Amino acid sequence: MIVEMLRKVSFIEKEFYHLYNRGVDKRKIFESFKDYKRFLMLLYLCNSDLNVRVADTLKSLAFEEIFTRERGKPLVAIGAFCLMPNHFHILATPLAEKGLSKFMLKLETGYSMYFNKKNNRSGSLLQGPFKSEHAGDDRYLKYLFSYIHLNPAKIKDSRWKEKIGAKRDSLIKFVEAYPYSSLQEYLSGEHVITTPRSFPKYFSSKKEIEKHITDWFQTWEH
User: What domains lie within the chain, and their CATH numbers?
Assistant: 2-134 (3.30.70.1290), 138-221 (no CATH)
Sequential pLDDT tens for the chain (222 residues): 444 444 456 799 989 999 999 999 989 999 999 999 999 999 999 999 988 777 777 777 788 888 888 888 999 999 999 999 999 999 999 999 999 999 999 999 999 999 999 999 999 999 988 999 999 899 999 889 989 999 998 898 776 666 666 677 888 889 999 999 999 999 999 999 999 999 998 877 888 888 888 777 776 654
Residue 207 confidence (pLDDT): 86
Residue 4 confidence (pLDDT): 43
Q: What are the C-alpha distances in Å from 139 to residues 87, 144, 146? A: 24, 9, 11
* Contact predicate 186/203, CB 8 Å: yes
Residue 5 confidence (pLDDT): 44
CA distance 204 to 84: 27
Residue 72 confidence (pLDDT): 87
Q: What is the pTM of this model?
A: 0.90
Neighbours of 176 (CB within 10 A): 18
Residue 165 confidence (pLDDT): 65
CA distance 145 to 202: 9
* Contact predicate 73/96, CB 8 Å: yes
Residue 144 confidence (pLDDT): 93
Host H or E run for residue 44: helix 33-45
Residue 3 confidence (pLDDT): 45
| 3-state class (DSSP) for residue 194 | coil
Q: What are the C-alpha distances in Å from 209 to residues 22, 40, 159, 160, 185? A: 27, 22, 24, 21, 11
The alpha carbons of the chain give a radius of gyration, in whole angstroms, of 17
